[in-house]
Structure 1
Amino acid sequence: MHRSMLEEVDPQLKMGEAVDGVTRHAAGLAAEIPQPSPQKTTTARTRRSWRRRPFPASNPPPPYRRRLLDLGWRRGGGDGGVQLADKLKIFKTDNFDPDAYVQSKCQTMNEKDEPVIVVRMEVREMRFGASISVHIQEIRHLCSYLQDLKKASAEEMRRSVYANYAAFIRTSKEISDLEGELLSIRNLLNTQAALIHGLSEGVQIDSLTSGTEGSTEEDISNVEGQEPSEIQKWSADFPDMLDVLLAERRVDEALDALDEAERVAADRTQTLTTAEISALRSAVSDNRQKLADQLAEAACQSSTRGIELRAAASALKRLGDGPRAHSLLLSAHNQRLQCNLQTIHPSSTSYGGAYTAALAQQVFSVVAQALSDSVEVFGDESCYASELVTWATQQVLSFALLVKRHVLSSCAAAGGLRAAAECVQISIGHCSLLEARGLSVSAVLLKQFKPSLEQALDANLRRIEESTAALAAADNWTLTYPPNGIHPLARSSVANLALQPKLSSSAHRFNSMVQDYFEDVTPLLSLQLGGSTMDGIAKNFSLYINLLISALPGSMDDEANIDGLGNKIILMAETEEQQLALLANASLLAEELLPRAAMKLSSINQSSMDDLRKRGPDKQNRVPELREWKRKLQRMVDRLRDSFCRQHALELIFTDEGDTHLSAEMYISMDNTVEEPEWVPSPIFQELYAKLNRMAGVAADMFVGRERFATLLMMRLTETVILWLSEDQAFWEEIEQGPKPLGPLGLQQFYLDMQFVIIFGQGRFLSRHVHQVILDIIDRAMGAFSATGMNPDSVLPGDDWFMDVAQEVVGMISGRGRAANGDREINSPTASVSAHSMSSFRSHGSS
């Protein structure tokens, strides 16, 4: 193709030269023709104007005019329908003569004497001037026409060159390479010629084997006396043959020739002389090194890849330079990788995931290709495998540093856990492809990514804490269903709205952010961040519990609430319903929502996670870890519950002025009064039952499906009051060691109060432990009474009396009973049962 292109361009160049020659020749002829006199110009112009008109059939044009018309040379350079290629054919011939061409086209002007003679003898002087003017005009038209042909030819050549520009460039490069090869061959031939010349002048080669001069002379005489054998001829031609193979880059044939030469040098010691063997071995050694250098140079070129690269490495290994071949193989892949990485810039992508994916595609594909090439060429030899693992580790480390610098650092600083998790997931996914081929490099990534991810986790936890605290400052502690945009417990329709959790606004926000947090951190299980992740959420939940505790009235002096709150302002929960809402938030989060979210760490993407080897023990420990984590959350809820119960117990026991509603004096002083007391439970215990009854009704609506928590809450409140009474040292010191002993009426009132607590608490508000504590308290009071020398059984009425009084009060407080005088309000239980209590006591006493 290149040859045909050159053949096409060369005639065009020749044609251009021919047109130039014709133009110069025509211009010379025009200069030789004498110019007409000025006074006859008008006549000539008149005749030229007449000649513009077509010739009639009866009056044909003169011969020279007819020749020009036949060629299409009219005024204006019209081509008469003749193609440019047809016009230029005559100029492309090798024997083109411009002088002859002009003479043939202007034959009438070559015979310029004939018109002059005719003019002199037969025509007037005016006729002569007109004829000369016509010749000049036709020559000028000829020159103009030739110039147009020259321009058209140049334009045609330019289009041809542009159309085949790539072929011209490729041809020029091939010519340049060919010149280099020819120069190398010439240098090689010069070297060989110098070597042969040196040998011919008597250069002596030391013998490789020990022998006497006599044997050497005998070998020489034998060689001189006989014709060289085929092996000797082959040995003599071997260097030249090998040089040709190397010059033509026929590597496999060169390797075969080198192996053959070594076999010849080893096996034909009897056939070849020592000098020939020495020369053969020297040629083998030199050419081995030369071939190795040539292969190394080829392997280092960026254009060498794939089959060519493996062939070069295999040839180097065959030459005995395996370590160098393996290093060059890895170096070539590294060079290719660095070239590909130059096209990837973090600024050209919209987010970190695209940059990480593009970078991982380049890095891990090159590493995988290097792994395949190494195994194909070098097999599983340990030395090469060790170098491959080291090289792959370096490439993965460089990749991890790039991702960390351009993506993870910014994500960690901004708390972009989802973007960071996506980048890590992309990287781990590519690592799994290498692990399928037996190369595990995920540990390198995990070591580099873990600090940045921990920073991102901390930033997310801080954001959860700050956002929850901000909402808690304005939370009205009213339970509602999840608003739009907040993660519900179950994604369902309006028909399943009852299944949705009812929380306050701050709890909804906390739950939503925790759900998102666990979804983002789930792909990071390979980094073994599960423990720190769950611990961070537990810490945030503890801070949220502190916020809820601080929302309880009267809890500002609690040191536990101050820890971690700083200067945060929380809206107080004034009513019992709002305070129970605090417990509903905490219990629902700790018992259901947070554990369910944490289960994502072991339930989502489990199929992809099992591919990582370190995932096995982590998965086995996940369930016990979740169980312990849930118990930790429950202990935090217990802190809120204890604060709630302690606050309400203090409200029952103490007044706003600091006085107490439950003291030993209230029992001891009963025996100092003259009037008969009203046998009803003490106001503090009636208020305790009334509070428990109200809270139980509210809790029944708040703790749907979690009635056990509400029951335990009521039991805990009862337990708090009873334990306070049991552990009040001042109370018992005054009862047991006070100046005034406990009398019969005081003992009876104390016994009635305890029986009242047992009766209203059975099955609802009283645990077995508290029931036993009450019995112990009764025994202790009766023991103090017995210390005075009196028998408690002699002064106390029967148990039926206590049960009747207690049940009547319970019925009145709960609304199941009414006093005999119907004008009493149910909400005034103390006043409503006074008459019945007195009558019961009198009847019991009379009996």
Structure 2
Amino acid sequence: MHPNNLIIGSIDREIGWRGAAIFMAAVKSSRSRASGPSGLVAPGSQHANGGADNGAPLADNLKIFKTENFDPDAYVQSKCETMNEKVALIHGLDEGVPTESLSASAERSLEDDVSKVEDRESSDIEKWVIEFPDMLAVLLAERSVDEALDEAERIAVEGKQNKALKPAELHSLQTAITEHRQKLADQLAETAGQSSTRGVELRAVASALKRLGDGPRAHTLLLNAHYQRLQYNMQTIHPTSTSYGGAYTAALSQQVFSAIAQALHDSLDVFGDDPAYASELVAWSTEQAETFAQLVKRHALASCAAAGGLRAAAECVQIALGHCSLLESQGLSLSSVLLKLFRPSVEQALDANLKRIEESTAALAAADDWVLTYPPSGARTNNRTANTSVGNQPKLSSSAHRFNSLVQDFFEDVGPILSMQLCDPILDGLFRVFNSYISLLINALPGSIEDDANAEASGNKIVRMAETEAQQLALLANASLLAELLPRAAMKLSPTYQANGMEDSRKRASDRHNCMREQREWKRKLQRCVAGLLDSFCRQHALDLIYTKDGYTNLSAEMYLSLDGSGYEPDWSPSPIFQELFTKLNSMARIASDIFVGRERFATLLMMRLMGTVILWLSDDESFWEDIEEGPKPLGPLGLLQFYLDMRFVIVFGQGRYLSRHVHQVIMDIKERAMAAYSATGMDPDCALLDDDWFIDIAEETIRKISRRS
């Protein structure tokens, strides 16, 4: 064996490959400089300047490698000028470089030459390229993903900037990094799909995928992980025929909106508010909300809606919206999605509930005795429990009490669904039900329908007749009082009752204004319904006054035209029909004072309306005025005097009680028309008429007689 090989083996055993490399570099440097111009002398000699002999034996030169504090790296940095020179020295030594050529002067020359030694980056990078796959595998096994990616990026950047890697080496490194990044991405995707990956670990996996440049895939996997978890949790929620719809909705809402909330939190934590990811999150959340709404509709709302269970349906909606609203504080609003899908079912429940109110009220109207009483003990009136001893509670007949109670409960039931913007359909539905009840009251007036067969044929419900004036006035009391109670209850639909602190104050003010305007219009519609009943009432009583049971009229032109030419002067008093009008008004006014306690104005308006109906009929009766103005014979002075007395009588008893300003003017107009007809005969009406005191005295005397009889 070559002696140099023995030396290398000995050195390698003592200090390893680094010490051997250092030794070989020293040997070559000594050999190459022994005969050169550096002035080195043979081993054992002295320097030319007479310095001490530095040609120490080889064993002495190796002592430094055997010390305990020897640092190979530091020694290499101080002795080796370039990496190529050290590989070259090893080959030279292997070829038979004599070790005895080393000298102290050669070592000192070596120390001078290694001042420009470059870093070991090239060696580190080369080694790192080889070891990178194993190191990356270890880091991945330890889930130190960020550390692995940081190390790969650092080496690649430094190697490129410092040009420590050859193009082939850099390409090799980049290829290794790309391959392992893809492998890592696949492993992360697989990890994200596992049901055990949750919480912090799921966010870490998504974050690592994002760093790998696969953000869209990472976000989709994150949402899918939450979806899979949600599906697993929902497996335990099963509606049954005996289950309570609200309980099912609550359990389902808890799972769905908790999953959406967690997905929202994870998405923002990893991806921030990037529009692309936010858009996918909203689409995913909307899909989950739609699926949830369909399940609630199928297993809870459908049965409620079909049965008219408005309260149960409203509670399900309220529960769902309550859970959904928790997301709004995090910037995600899904209420509109739920409301859109729930609305058809809720509207179906509304219609069924209103239909039940209508049918229940009609059933009671068929047996209603039209006697006004206070609410039954424990009944609900305008959101209060009524006691029969409380005098300020409304007095209604049995069917009207039932109608009011059902409507009050209805407004309580719709409270939870006011956010569904159902104010218009609610008000419209209630108007239809109220109008249907008013139709029942109209049918209860005698003479309104001919028989039950015609009533059924026309679609009207069978209803008990109101025979007496007190019963008929009770019909009006029912209608007029309900028209006041319903708008009060409808105030619960106002935005004031739905105030949400999250809403803009100007929007709330606008909503209140619009709602108040709609409710005022709704109240006017109710009043028009009541006016229809009043018209029917007044028309019926006016016809009773004007026509006999045999169909003859009590108010005709003949009763005035026949007075002249009879040969005798009449017994001056108001015509029987106007005395009967006064009697009827007085009778009804007394009954109304008991029925409309505290609502005297309504009673007064009712009397005015009744009088106005009779007077307007006279004013509009063209056959009457055709006879007066055109014949068969002209109006004479006695006929004019009687007509004038009748009109003056109406003014006297009606002034301040039953006579409206409008009807008063109508009376004055028809008086003028009668006088004009008389003037057309060539006669002066002023000559036919007597002093006004004469008319007043007769009118007042008649009023006293009638009042005494009644």
Report the TM-score when normalising by structure 2.
0.80
1:363 aligns with 2:252: no
Query: 1:146-183: per-residue Cα shift (whole Å, max 9, x none)?
Result: xxxxxxxxxxxxxxxxxxxxxxxxxxxxxxxxxxxxxx
Closer, same or farther: CA 615–294 of 1 in aligned 2, 3 Å:
farther
Q: 2:52 is matched with which residue?
A: none
Q: 2:704 is matched with which residue?
A: 811
Q: Is this contact kept in 2: 1:671–1:746, CA < 8 A?
A: yes
Q: SS in structure 2 opposite 1:659? A: coil
Bigger shift: residues 307-316 or 606-615: 606-615
> How far 1:627 sits from its partner (Å)?
0.2
1:240 aligns with 2:134: yes
Q: 2:324 is matched with which residue?
A: 431
1:273 aligns with 2:166: yes
Q: Of 600, 604, 607, which aligns to 2:499?
A: 607
Query: 1:442-485: per-residue Cα shift (whole Å, max 9, x none)?
Result: 11111111111111111111111111111110111110111134
Closer, same or farther: CA 372–563 of 1 in aligned 2, 3 Å:
farther
Opposite residue 249 of structure 1, the aligned amino acid is R
Q: How does 1:330-729 map to 2 (within 5 A)?
A: 330-347=223-240, 350-489=243-382, 491=384, 494=387, 497-556=390-449, 566=459, 568-590=461-483, 592-602=484-494, 605-608=497-500, 611=503, 617-729=510-622
Q: Is this contact kept in 2: 1:653–1:662, CA < 8 A?
A: yes
Closer, same or farther: CA 625–723 of 1 in aligned 2, 3 Å:
same
Q: Is this contact kept in 2: 1:393–1:444, CA < 8 A?
A: yes
Bigger shift: residues 640-649 or 447-456: 447-456
> How far 1:282 sits from its partner (Å)?
2.0
Q: 1:299 is matched with which residue?
A: 192
Query: 1:381-431: per-residue Cα shift (whole Å, max 9, x none)?
Result: 111111111111111111111111111111111111111111111122222
- Give 5+ residue unaligned stretches, structure 2: 1-81, 90-119
Which whole-Å CA distance do the structure 2 matches of 1:784 and 1:286 have between them?
116
Q: 1:776 is matched with which residue?
A: 669
Opposite residue 668 of structure 2, the aligned amino acid is L
Q: Is this contact kept in 1: 2:378–2:386, CA < 8 A?
A: no
Opposite residue 726 of structure 1, the aligned amino acid is S
Opposite residue 514 of structure 1, the aligned amino acid is V
> How far 1:275 sits from its partner (Å)?
3.6
Which whole-Å CA distance do the structure 1 matches of 2:362 and 2:458 have between them?
9
1:251 aligns with 2:152: no
Q: Is this contact kept in 2: 1:242–1:257, CA < 8 A?
A: no
> How far 1:495 sits from its partner (Å)?
8.8
Q: Is this contact kept in 1: 2:368–2:397, CA < 8 A?
A: yes
Which whole-Å CA distance do the structure 2 matches of 1:492 and 1:470 have between them?
24
Query: 1:59-112: per-residue Cα shift (whole Å, max 9, x none)?
Result: xxxxxxxxxxxxxxxxxxxxxxxxxxxxxxxxxxxxxxxxxxxxxxxxxxxxxx
> How far 1:780 sits from its partner (Å)?
1.1
Closer, same or farther: CA 469–223 of 1 in aligned 2, 3 Å:
farther
Opposite residue 475 of structure 1, the aligned amino acid is D
Q: SS in structure 1 opposite 2:391? A: helix
**Structure with larger Rg:** 1
Q: Is this contact kept in 2: 1:538–1:633, CA < 8 A?
A: yes
Q: Is this contact kept in 1: 2:499–2:508, CA < 8 A?
A: no
Query: 1:279-300: per-residue Cα shift (whole Å, max 9, x none)?
Result: 3222211111121111111111
Q: 1:139 is matched with which residue?
A: none
Opposite residue 355 of structure 1, the aligned amino acid is Y
Q: Is this contact kept in 2: 1:526–1:609, CA < 8 A?
A: no
Opposite residue 146 of structure 2, the aligned amino acid is D
> How far 1:765 sits from its partner (Å)?
0.4
Q: Of 251, 262, 277, which aligns to 2:156?
A: 262
Closer, same or farther: CA 686–596 of 1 in aligned 2, 3 Å:
same
Q: Is this contact kept in 2: 1:646–1:720, CA < 8 A?
A: yes
Q: Is this contact kept in 2: 1:610–1:616, CA < 8 A?
A: no
Closer, same or farther: CA 563–772 of 1 in aligned 2, 3 Å:
farther
> How far 1:615 sits from its partner (Å)?
6.8
- Give 5+ residue unaligned stretches, structure 1: 1-218, 816-825, 828-847
> How far 1:704 sits from its partner (Å)?
1.5
Opposite residue 229 of structure 1, the aligned amino acid is S
Which whole-Å CA distance do the structure 2 matches of 1:279 and 1:564 have between them?
96
> How far 1:674 sits from its partner (Å)?
3.1
Which whole-Å CA distance do the structure 2 matches of 1:800 and 1:223 have between them?
150
Q: Is this contact kept in 2: 1:543–1:564, CA < 8 A?
A: no
Q: 1:740 is matched with which residue?
A: 633
Which whole-Å CA distance do the structure 2 matches of 1:493 and 1:388 have between them?
53
Opposite residue 393 of structure 1, the aligned amino acid is T
Query: 1:481-520: per-residue Cα shift (whole Å, max 9, x none)?
Result: 1113431246367597111100011111111111111221
Q: 1:229 is matched with which residue?
A: 123
Q: Is this contact kept in 2: 1:337–1:366, CA < 8 A?
A: yes
